[in-house]
Amino acid sequence: MPYIKLTNPRFANLTGQLPGKNFRGIDFIAGVSALNLDLSIADKIAAQLAGTMLCDAAGIVSGPAGSLYRIQTELPTSKLAPAVVDSVVNFRDVNAATYTLSSNDNGWTLNFVKACVVTVPANLGSGFAVSLRQGGYEPVRVTHPSNVAIEDPTYFFRTRKRQSVLHLVQVAKTRFTLAEVNPTTAVTPASAVNGFSKLKAKLSSSQNATMLIHADSTMWERNSASYKFAEFLGARYNVNVTVRLWQEWVKTALTGPMRYGPAETVYSASVAGRPTLDIYLLAIPGASAGTAFDARRRPTAIDALPTPDCIIIHHGHNQQTFETPGNLLSAGAGLFFGPIGVLSQRFPGAPMVMTTQNPWRDNAEYLKVYNSIKKVAAALPSLTLIDSFAAWDEVGKPGNLYIDNVHPTANAANSVGAQLVTDSIVKVWDAATPDLNATTVSWPALPAVNLLVNGDMTDWTAALPTGWTKTGSKPTVSKDTENKHAGFAHCMSIVPNADTGAGVRYSLSAAERAAVAGKTVSLAILVKDTVRSTGKANNFYASFVAKSGGAVRTIAFTGLQRSYGGWMWYVASGVPVDADVAEVYFTLIPNFFNAAVDNQPLLIQKAVLVEGDLPKGGLAA
Residue 299 falls inside a structural domain: no
Final residue of a structural domain among 441, 459, 487: 441
26-28 β-sheet, strand order: 44-45, 26-28, 68-76, 162-170, 129-134, 108-112, 90-94
Q: Do 486 and 405 lie in a common domain?
A: no
Q: Is the dihedral of CA 63, 66, 68, 69 positive or negative?
A: positive
Q: Indicate if the pLDDT at residue 574 is higher than 90.
A: yes
Place 154 in a pLDDT band, splitting at 50, 70 and 90.
Answer: very low
Q: Do 418 and 286 lie in a common domain?
A: yes
Q: Do 469 and 577 lie in a common domain?
A: yes
CA distances from 75 to 159, 163, 235, 243 (A): 10, 5, 20, 29
Q: Do 203 and 137 lie in a common domain?
A: no
Return d(Cα 250, Cα 232) in angstroms, integer. 27
Q: Do 125 and 161 lie in a common domain?
A: yes
Q: What is the pLDDT of residues 406-421, one digit of tens each?
A: 999 998 888 999 999 9
Final residue of a structural domain among 407, 423, 441: 441
* 147 Cβ contact partners less than 8 Å away, ≥ 6 residues apart: none
Residue 573 falls inside a structural domain: yes
Residue 265 falls inside a structural domain: no
Measured distance between the N- and C-terminal CA atoms of the chain, rounded to whole angstroms: 42
Mean pLDDT over 229-250 rounds to: 95
Q: Would you say 335 and 313 are in contact if contact means Cβ atoms under 8 Å apart?
A: no
What DSSP element (H or E) covers 330? helix 330-346
Place 124 in a pLDDT band, splitting at 50, 70 and 90.
Answer: low
CA distances from 306 to 55, 301, 379 (A): 58, 11, 28
| Residue among 214, 380, 387 at smallest CA distance from 308 | 214
Residue 184 falls inside a structural domain: no
Q: Do 531 and 405 lie in a common domain?
A: no
276-283 β-sheet, strand order: 264-267, 240-245, 276-283, 209-215, 310-314, 352-355, 384-386
Mean pLDDT over 346-358 rounds to: 97
Q: Do 171 and 205 lie in a common domain?
A: no
Residue 390 falls inside a structural domain: yes
Q: Do 169 and 223 lie in a common domain?
A: no
Q: Which residue has the higher pLDDT, 341 or 43?
A: 341
Overall domain count for the chain: 3
Residue 147 falls inside a structural domain: yes
pTM of the model: 0.72
Q: Do 37 and 173 lie in a common domain?
A: yes
Predicted local distance difference test score (pLDDT) of residue 298: 94
Q: Do 30 and 120 lie in a common domain?
A: yes
Q: What is the pLDDT of residues 426-474, one digit of tens each?
A: 999 999 999 999 999 999 999 999 999 999 999 999 999 999 999 987 8
Q: Which domain holds residue 465?
A: 445-611
Q: CATH no. for residue 377?
A: 3.40.50.1110
Predicted local distance difference test score (pLDDT) of residue 445: 96
Q: Which residue has the higher pLDDT, 103 or 276?
A: 276
Mean pLDDT over 301-323 rounds to: 96
| Residue among 372, 267, 243 at smallest CA distance from 315 | 372
Q: What is the pLDDT of residues 200-219, one digit of tens each?
A: 999 999 999 999 999 999 99
Q: Which residue has the higher pLDDT, 538 or 325?
A: 325
Q: CATH no. for residue 474?
A: 2.60.120.260
Q: Do 389 and 316 lie in a common domain?
A: yes
Q: Do 375 and 460 lie in a common domain?
A: no
Final residue of a structural domain among 388, 415, 441: 441
Residue 236 falls inside a structural domain: no
Residue 406 falls inside a structural domain: yes
